[in-house]
Amino acid sequence: MSLFDDDTPKKPQGTQIIVGQDLSTLSESELAERISELEQEIIRTKETLSNRSNIRNEAESLFGKPST
C-alpha cells in the first residue's frame, strides 16, 4: 500500500493533444512542447493529404476521371 492515496491527478503517460483543452494548467515548457507537437501533426496531416491526392491523380490517369 502506498503512503499517498491515488486521488491526485496524474499526467497522461503518452502525449495526447486535446483540442479545446484548458491551457491554463500547462506550464510554459508544456505549452512550447504542445506547439511543437501541433506543428509536427500539421506536417504529418499535410503529407497524408498530399499522398492521397497523388493516389487519386494516379487513379484518374489510369481509369479516367469519374463523371459527376
Per-residue model confidence as pLDDT tens digits over 13-68? 556 888 999 999 999 999 999 999 999 999 999 999 999 998 888 888 888 877 66
Instruction: Evaluate whether residue 46 is within a structural domain.
Output: yes
The pLDDT value recorded for residue 65 is 78
In whole angstroms, give the CA distance from residue 23 to residue 20: 8
In contact, 17 and 41? CB cutoff 8 Å: yes
Residue 23 lies in a domain: no
Lookup result for grid cell 497522461: 12
User: Residue 1's pLDDT band (boundaries 50, 70, 90)?
Assistant: low
Domain count, the chain: 1
- The pTM assigned to this predicted structure is 0.60
Q: How far is CA 53 from CA 24, 56, 60, in A?
A: 38, 5, 10
Structural domain range at position 40: 28-62
Contacts of 66 (CB under 8 A, 6+ apart): 60
Residue 50 in any domain: the answer is: yes
Whether residue 13 is contained in a domain is answered as: no
